[in-house]
Structures are given as structure tokens and as C-alpha cells.
């Protein structure tokens, strides 16, 4: 059968909202796009544990500590669901790890910012998980079955993440003057990087159109960013914080909030590896991988021994 007919049949399935499953024929570019997107997503979940893990031992109460620990553990789980979805496309786990550890693969640039105070943990839950949810909910309807199914599990777990973050900030907002300042300071630092999580503006995002046609993406970067701004404004009022954007104001005509210019130079700079923590994050991942080598080897030997014993018995 000619290639173009296969491609036409593939697109017809997508148009009819029929999911693509691992063994189905798919264009090479679709496979490559998915491998890149799902692996970047998985890496982001894994690296995303680092800034928050930083505060587990210093959480202000046992209640906060168990919640943060559970959240960080969920993020590890999200990484694993996504790696396993990615592997169904024919790339193996060790290759994916290698791409992360060598710096060849990207992950969300938000995780290259430091967590300076406890309020940052609240701001991450509210804004970073909030932006992630905005991105992830439409991915539950992605055309690739294993990715869509993984996202359903992820989204179920995410809502607790955002709520625990918001609760941390709400507590600070009712606290001392110093705590309120800490809250405002965290929001000042996390707002713009969170806005960047939706990726470059549509005009500079050449792959968006193809991804929408393949129904990997359901909304453009700018559409999702607008949704995010619109929900955050009211939530900020509850927290009594100011979002650090003097241009933020309601536009009656559009029915949306207008917002200021994003510093894309900063974004690309962080993507290229020059953010405040890029080096530290990669070093932490590499160290964990290298230090764990003996455990992985021992586990293989142990399993072999158990198999040998079983054969004798």
C-alpha cells in the first residue's frame, strides 16, 4: 500500500477521534513528536521533584510535611507513567534517561528556578501545578492512547497538589506581616516563569499547527496562557496578593484579562541552560543515577540468585 494512503487513513482516524494505539501504523513525524513531548514531560515530572524536595525536611509542621512528601512522591509516579507511555513508541528507558542526564533532552524550564522560602512551596503548588493542570487536562484527550490514559491518572492526582499549595499561601496571607511579605515575594518570583510554562507565543511556535492537526494538542499556547491568567486573577484576590504585572486588567470587549509582555529572552536563556539552577538540577539527577548504580546491579544479581534457588527447589 502506498505511503500516502496510509497517511490519509491515519489522519481520517484522528479526525474521527479514534485513538492511535502503539502497534497501529503512524507517520514517523507523529512518533518523533510524541517521543519528544512525552519524554520532556516525564523528565519535567522527575526534575520537578528537586525544587520541592528541598523543603521536605524543613516543612513547618507534620501536616505540611506529609502532604509535601505525598506530592513529591506523586510527581515521581507521574514521571513513571509517562516514561512507560513513551516506551510504547519504541524507545527504551535507559535511552530516555541518558538523554536527560547528558543534557540532550529538555524539561520544563520552570524547574530551573530556586525555592528560596517556604512560601515558594505554596507558590509552586498554586501557580506551577495550576499551569501544569491547564496544560494537562486537554492532553487527556490526546490522540495517542497511552499518553491520554497516563494523563487521566496524572490529572486525578494533580488537583490535590494545587489545593495544598493554595492552602499554604492562604495560611501565610492570614499570618504576620513578615509572612505576608514572604508570600508576596514568592508570587513575584514565580508568576512570570509560570506564564512561560505554556511555551512561546503561537506566532513563534511552528509545530503547534501540526500538533493540533494530529490532536496531540487541543489548544494553542496562547489560548492556555489566557485561561490561566483569567482564573489566577480571582484566586489572587482571595490570597490578598498582587500579581506582578502592571498591565493586568479586564478587557470587557474580549471577555478576558489583558496582560503585559513576557520576557522571552529570559525564557530562551533558561531553556538554553543558563537559568539559576540548570547546572544544579542536572548534577543532582546525574549524582542520583550514578550513586544508584550499585543498587541496580545488586538487584539484578539478587533476582538471578532467587531464580537459581527456585530451579533447585
Element (H, E) at 251: strand 249-251
* Closest distance to Fe ion from the beta carbon of 132 (Å): 6
- Cβ proximity to another protein, 34 vs 110, nearer residue: 34
- SS3 percent helix, strand, coil of the chain, rounded to 5, is 70, 5, 25
Binding residue (CB under 5 A) for Fe ion from 78, 189, 225, 281: 78
Q: Which of these ranges, 103-111, 112-120, 152-160, 183-191, lies near Fe ion under the rule CB under 5 A? A: 152-160
Axis-axis angle for helices 28-47, 93-101 (nearest 10): 60
Q: Which residues of this protein are in contact with another protein, per CB under 8 A?
A: 21, 23-25, 70, 73-74, 77, 80-81, 84-85, 87-88, 92-94, 146, 149-150, 153, 157, 293, 296-297, 299-300, 302-303, 306-307
φ/ψ of residue 5, rounded to 5: -70, -40
* Closest distance to Fe ion from the beta carbon of 53 (Å): 13
- Cβ proximity to another protein, 29 vs 70, nearer residue: 70
- Cβ proximity to Fe ion, 154 vs 241, nearer residue: 154
> What's the N-to-C CA distance of the chain in angstroms?
54
Contact 290, 127 (CB under 8 A): no
* Contact partner, 306, from another protein, Fe ion, none, Cβ < 5-8 Å per class: another protein
- Cβ proximity to another protein, 116 vs 308, nearer residue: 308
For residues 86-100, one letter each, b for 16 or more C-beta atoms within 10 angstroms of the residue's C-beta and e for the rest, the string is: bbbbebeeeebbebb
* Closest distance to another protein from the beta carbon of 196 (Å): 30
* Closest distance to Fe ion from the beta carbon of 57 (Å): 20
Helices (H) and strands (E) in the chain — how many of each? Answer: 14, 2
Residues in the chain: 313
Q: Which of these ranges, 4-12, 139-147, 156-164, 289-297, lies near Fe ion under the rule CB under 5 A? A: 156-164
Residue 161 makes contact with Fe ion by CB under 5 A: yes
* Closest distance to another protein from the beta carbon of 118 (Å): 25
Contact 132, 96 (CB under 8 A): no
- Cβ proximity to Fe ion, 45 vs 120, nearer residue: 45
- Cβ proximity to another protein, 231 vs 299, nearer residue: 299
* Closest distance to another protein from the beta carbon of 281 (Å): 23
HEC secondary structure over 14-62: HHCCCCECCCCCCCHHHHHHHHHHHHHHHHHHHHCHHHHHCCHHHCCCH
Q: Which of these ranges, 54-62, 78-86, 108-116, 202-210, lies near Fe ion under the rule CB under 5 A? A: 78-86
Axis-axis angle for helices 278-291, 293-312 (nearest 10): 30
Contacting residues toward Fe ion, per CB under 5 A = 45, 75, 78, 129, 158, 161
Amino acid at each position: 500500500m502506498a505511503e500516502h494512503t496510509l497517511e490519509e487513513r491515519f489522519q481520517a482516524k484522528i479526525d474521527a477521534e479514534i485513538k492511535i494505539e502503539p502497534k497501529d501504523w503512524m507517520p514517523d513525524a507523529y512518533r518523533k513528536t510524541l517521543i519528544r513531548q512525552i519524554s520532556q514531560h516525564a523528565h519535567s515530572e522527575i526534575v520537578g521533584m528537586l525544587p520541592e524536595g528541598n523543603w521536605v525536611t524543613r516543612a513547618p509542621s507534620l501536616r505540611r510535611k506529609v502532604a509535601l512528601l505525598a506530592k513529591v512522591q506523586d510527581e515521581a509516579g507521574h514521571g513513571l507513567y509517562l516514561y512507560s507511555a513513551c516506551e510504547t513508541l519504541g524507545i527504551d528507558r535507559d535511552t530516555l534517561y541518558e538523554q536527560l542526564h547528558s543534557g540532550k533532552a529538555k524539561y520544563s524550564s520552570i524547574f530551573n528556578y530556586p525555592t528560596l522560602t517556604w512560601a515558594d512551596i505554596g507558590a509552586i503548588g498554586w501557580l506551577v501545578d495550576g499551569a501544569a493542570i491547564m496544560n494537562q487536562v486537554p492532553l487527556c484527550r490526546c490522540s495517542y492512547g497511552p499518553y491520554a490514559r497516563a494523563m487521566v491518572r496524572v490529572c486525578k492526582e494533580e488537583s490535590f497538589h494545587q489545593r495544598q499549595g493554595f492552602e499554604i499561601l492562604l495560611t501565610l496571607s492570614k499570618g504576620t506581616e513578615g509572612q505576608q511579605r514572604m508570600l508576596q515575594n514568592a508570587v513575584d518570583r514565580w508568576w512570570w516563569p509560570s506564564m512561560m510554562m505554556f511555551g512561546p507565543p503561537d506566532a513563534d511556535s511552528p509545530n503547534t499547527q501540526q500538533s493540533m492537526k494530529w490532536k496531540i494538542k487541543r489548544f494553542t499556547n496562547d489560548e492556555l496562557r489566557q485561561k490561566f491568567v483569567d482564573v489566577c486573577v480571582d484566586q489572587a484576590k482571595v490570597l490578598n496578593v498582587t500579581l506582578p504585572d502592571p498591565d493586568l486588567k479586564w478587557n470587557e470587549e474580549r471577555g478576558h484579562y489583558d496582560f503585559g509582555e513576557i520576557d522571552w529572552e529570559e525564557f530562551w536563556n533558561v531553556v538554553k541552560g543558563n537559568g539559576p539552577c540548570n547546572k544544579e538540577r542536572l548534577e543532582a539527577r546525574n549524582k542520583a543515577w550514578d550513586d544508584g548504580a550499585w543498587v541496580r546491579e545488586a538487584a539484578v544479581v539478587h533476582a538471578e540468585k532467587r531464580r537459581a534457588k527456585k530451579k533447585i527447589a
